[in-house]
Amino acid sequence: MGGRSAAMGKTSINQIDLWSAENNMGALAFYEESSIGAFYSNEYLSNDLANKSVIGTYALKKSAFGLSLSQFGYSQYQENKVGLSYGMKLSDNFGVGAQLNYFNLKVGEGYGSRNTFTAKIGLYALINEDLSVAATLSNPTRTELTDGGDDRLPTEIQLGLNYQFSKKLNTSIQVNKDIDFDPIIHLGLEYHAIDILYLRAGIANKPTLSTFGFGLFLNDFQLDFASSFDSNLGFSPMISLAYTFD
């Protein structure tokens, strides 16, 4: 989640920012700001595939809390989620965290709705000042959406590595593995062009995607725009706005 990770090939779990409350709670432990933000994406320019989210974080001395609300879909199919996150430093270089989610699925035409709870676990480690590694596990309990057990929320493992080549160039690689599907590889880079401007790009496979975008830092505000491109389905624009409290 967030325009920054979306522009960087959807590499997210190594980034320390507001969106760590959703992407990796282990990284959230290193986020030392209290912030609020909003995210909107429009998959393949279809209003029926819109994703809307709001998020907030509250930082403590060696830990942080996060709260996120998200909605995907339209009137006939809608996924709603509320997530409460907590990340804590176990040392100066290592953080762990977890997220508890309330998930609601609504399907029209008389199919009704389903409510359930899921969890996510995150780890983050600084190997040195330039290199970090991270991992997350989503829905470890394989929560069911139907009583028969045939339909479950995804259980996914994410592994990531981030390397800062210089003060201006940052790179990330991430592998996502849903236990029911083949792994997906994501690559992203970020270039700090001028004081307030960051340029970003990335790629991913299965499906093959290219991504691009930029970030603007204006005092306490951060604006991030991104888009992905699928050669068969077209563009998916995304935007996020964040505000950091003094």
What is the rounded CA–CA span in Å between residue 51 and residue 62?
Answer: 32
Per-residue tokens: 194: 């001028």
Q: Per-residue pLDDT for 130 more than 80?
A: yes
Q: How far apart are CA 10 and CA 26, in angstroms?
A: 18
pLDDT digits (tens, 9 = 90+) for 134-160: 999 999 999 887 766 678 889 999 999
pLDDT tens digits, residue range 15-34? 999 999 999 999 999 999 99
In whole angstroms, give the CA distance from residue 9 to residue 193.
19
> Beta partners for 69?
54, 82
Tokens of 145: 């959406």
pTM equals 0.92
Question: Within a 10 A sphere around the Cβ of 89, how many other Cβ atoms?
Answer: 19
**Is residue 108 very low, low, confident or very high in pLDDT (cuts 50, 70, 90)?**
confident
The values of phi and psi at residue 88, to 5°, are: -140, 135
The rounded radius of gyration (Å) of the Cα atoms in the chain is: 18
Q: Which two tokens stand for residue 201?
A: 């790009």
Q: 164 is written with which tokens?
A: 């800062």
Residues 188-226 have pLDDT tens digits of 999 999 999 999 999 999 889 999 999 999 999 999 999
Mean pLDDT, rounded, for 170-180: 96
| % of the chain residues with pLDDT over 70 | 98
SS (H, E, C) the chain: CCHHHHHCCCCCCCCCCCCHHHHCHHHHCCCCCCEEEEEEEEHHHCHHHEEEEEEEEEECCCEEEEEEEEEEEECCEEEEEEEEEEEEECCCCEEEEEEEEEEEEEECCCCEEEEEEEEEEEEEEECCCCEEEEEEEECCCCCECCCCCCCECCCEEEEEEEEECCCCEEEEEEEEEECCCCCEEEEEEEEEEECCEEEEEEEECCCCEEEEEEEEEECCEEEEEEEEEECCCEEEEEEEEEEECC
